[in-house]
Amino acid sequence: MAIYSNLTQEELLHLAIESIKQGDHGVAISYLKEGVEKFTDDAKIAYVLGAEYAQIGMFEKAELEMRRAIALDSSLYTASFQLGLMLLTQGRNEDAAASWEALNALPETHCLWLFKTGLNHMVAGDNKLARKFIEEGIQANDFSPELTRDMLMVLEELPKNEDGNQVEGADTLAGQGWLNAYGMNKSE
């Protein structure tokens, strides 16, 4: 019998998020694993479990859970964005771009659309356009201070030169140590 078998879907997710805020990854993962076992069709719980796995460096499990979340709810755009960002940090640029295809359903003024467009420009070597779109995304981001912080870190790492183009050693975000759960609203 599961430890949290009497908790509802909402309670498990809430307790997991509170544990994440306190930095207690073990407890959060326990709540989330119980949630995905008990509520197999809950995309948010699967997404948060995937994000939590990413936080602790278990990227294969993170990818599986995020992909499951997206399969359950294709409008969970934060999951598509975060999956792409995680793949990008692993140097899997084409896989990241494929994950971000779902974000094309968003308006071109939405921060997630702007961020993925900027990151795709960065990978293509056009730092000037990358910077432009990421800065616009930061201005448009009204739901996640963590995401803004991470995108500011991307801007800091983005090489600058006079024409805004690629400089040696800046082709991916592979090896960057940051990755956050970016919120869970389906409308994002």
pLDDT in tens, 131-159: 999 999 999 999 999 999 999 999 998 87
As a whole number of angstroms, the distance between CA 25 and CA 162 comes to 43
Rounded distance, CA 104 to CA 2, Å?
Answer: 40
Q: What is the rounded end-to-end Cα distance, in angstroms, of the chain?
A: 36
Q: Are residues 15 and 69 in the same domain?
A: yes
For the chain, the domain total comes to 2
Residue 127 belongs to a domain = yes
Residue 139 maps to a domain: yes
Q: What is the pLDDT along the chain (188 residues), one digit of tens a residue?
A: 345 568 999 999 999 999 999 999 999 999 999 999 999 999 999 999 999 999 999 999 999 999 999 999 999 999 999 999 999 999 999 999 999 999 999 999 999 999 999 999 999 999 999 999 999 999 999 999 999 999 999 999 887 755 545 444 444 454 343 344 333 333 34
- Residue at 82 is within a domain: no
Phi first, then psi: what are they for 165, rounded to 5°? -90, 175
Domain range enclosing 103: 94-178
Closest-CA residue to 134 (of 75, 85, 90): 85
Residue with tokens 């809430």: 14
Running DSSP on this structure, what letter comes out for residue 105?
G
Query: Which residues does 52 contact at the CB level (< 8 Å), separation at least 6?
Result: 16, 20, 25, 28, 29, 32, 62, 181
Altogether, the residues listed in the chain come to a count of 188
> Does 151 lie in the same domain as 107?
yes
Residues 166, 99, single domain; the answer is yes
If asked whether residues 167 and 101 sit together in one domain, one would say yes
Same domain? For 40 and 101 the reply is no
**Would residue 83 count as lying in a domain?**
no
